[in-house]
């Protein structure tokens, strides 16, 4: 069903406030969730609210979020997320990284003891919007085995890098998991009673499967085989171990009521002006991206996209056409609105 973005935002805000989130963090988390849905990343959108509500009811997420700056100097910071909303913790971390990069050329902030942070481009684009390069990576609950194994030990451990675009181009942002596909897409296939493509996952016996239920009991496959495994492991070390958070098999999934997740996050901002004038960087990016788009194409391909460009077009289309969300997700949101004693309900637009 299609929902107008502002109405979906209003619903999310009321649900979050009903869960005892502060006004400020409700606005921030809503912006992250609804923007994910607008960009076509429904696995990181408002469907999160039902899972969050269950965790709040079980006293496994603390709201309102209480952040603590554990350590800080001119270029680095360590933040304890207080087992609250991950979006709030990482937004603060990136703001601090940008501020430090503005003063010292480079800023790096780590977060420990937090939860699901949504789609990572939300934070790296903050830096790109300030004329900087933004980098964010985080670990996650085990869903992928080391290369050659069948037992999940590592998370999908995503990475995002955003850079300012050319003069008449949007900022360019990479946002990817270390696995072939995010686990949320397999959960969605299970909900929709659909098969998944071969090459996404193995079952418990280590055999390639198209059954999402078998895949969720088995292991996701790393992108690029041993390369994705190595990337996931290194992200776990930097975001998890270095931050003093949980890592590897010690992280708990956000999707089951097993206790605090213990997610760790790495964020960095790099001031481009410390290396070259920003206008010069944009000029080079203008020429570079023109070369990328002008590359000779294979048969059947009419356009070469830059990283994040498809998602940006989805976002712009959602502003005029509305956001496509599953009816079962809309139903769960309406139940949460009723629980929050809100008169608002989501209906087909």
Quote the pLDDT of residue 266. Answer: 98
Write down the mean pLDDT value for the chain. 96
**Above 70 in pLDDT, residue 179?**
yes
Number of H helices, E strands in the chain: 11, 11
Domains of the chain with CATH codes? 2-179+222-277+310-339 (3.30.1370.60), 180-221 (3.30.60.50)
Look up the pTM and report it: 0.95
**Above 90 in pLDDT, residue 187?**
no
Quote the pLDDT of residue 254. Answer: 95
97-117 confidence digits (pLDDT tens): 999 999 999 999 999 999 999
Residue from 271, 295, 341 nearest 15 by CA:
341
User: What are the backbone angles phi and psi of residue 56, rounded to the nearest 5°?
Assistant: -65, -45
Quote the pLDDT of residue 191. Answer: 84
Residue from 79, 110, 109, 112 nearest 97 by CA:
109
**Above 90 in pLDDT, residue 183?**
no
* Residue whose entry in the numeric block shows the structure tokens 């789609």: 119
pLDDT grade for 188, boundaries at 50, 70 and 90: confident
Instruction: Provide the token pair at 95.
Output: 């703001």
Quote the pLDDT of residue 168. Answer: 85
Mean pLDDT along residues 55-69: 97
**Above 90 in pLDDT, residue 349?**
no
């Amino acid at each position: 069903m299609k929902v107008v973005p502002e109405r979906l935002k209003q619903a999310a805000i009321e649900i979050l406030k009903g869960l005892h989130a502060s006004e400020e963090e409700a606005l921030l988390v809503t912006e992250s969730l609804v923007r994910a849905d607008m960009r076509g990343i429904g696995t990181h959108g408002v469907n999160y609210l039902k899972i969050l509500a269950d965790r709040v009811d079980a006293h496994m997420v603390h709201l309102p979020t209480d952040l603590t700056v554990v350590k800080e100097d001119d270029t680095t910071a360590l933040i304890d997320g207080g087992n609250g909303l991950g979006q709030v913790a990482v937004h603060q971390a990136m703001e601090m990284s940008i501020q430090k990069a503005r003063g010292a050329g480079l800023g790096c902030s780590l977060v420990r003891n937090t939860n699901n942070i949504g789609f990572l481009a939300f934070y790296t684009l903050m830096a790109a919007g300030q004329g900087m390069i933004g980098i964010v990576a985080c670990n996650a609950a085990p869903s992928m085995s080391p290369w050659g194994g069948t037992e999940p030990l590592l998370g999908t451990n995503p990475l995002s890098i955003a850079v300012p675009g050319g003069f008449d181009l949007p900022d360019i942002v990479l946002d990817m998991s270390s696995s072939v596909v995010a686990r949320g897409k397999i959960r969605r296939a299970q909900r929709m009673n659909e098969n998944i493509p071969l090459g996404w996952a193995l079952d418990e016996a280590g055999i390639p499967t198209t059954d999402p239920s078998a895949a969720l009991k088995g292991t996701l496959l790393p992108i690029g085989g041993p390369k994705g495994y190595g990337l996931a492991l290194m992200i776990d070390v930097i975001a998890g171990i270095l931050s003093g958070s949980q890592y590897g098999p010690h992280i708990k999934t956000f999707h089951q009521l097993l206790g605090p997740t213990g997610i760790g996050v790495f964020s960095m901002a790099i001031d481009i002006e410390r290396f070259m004038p920003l206008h010069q960087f944009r000029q080079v990016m203008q020429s570079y991206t023109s070369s990328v788009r002008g590359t000779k194409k294979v048969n059947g391909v009419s356009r070469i996209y830059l990283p994040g460009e498809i998602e940006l077009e989805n976002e712009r289309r959602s502003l005029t056409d509305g956001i496509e969300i599953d009816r079962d997700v809309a139903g769960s949101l309406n139940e949460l609105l009723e629980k929050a004693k809100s008169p608002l309900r989501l209906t087909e637009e």
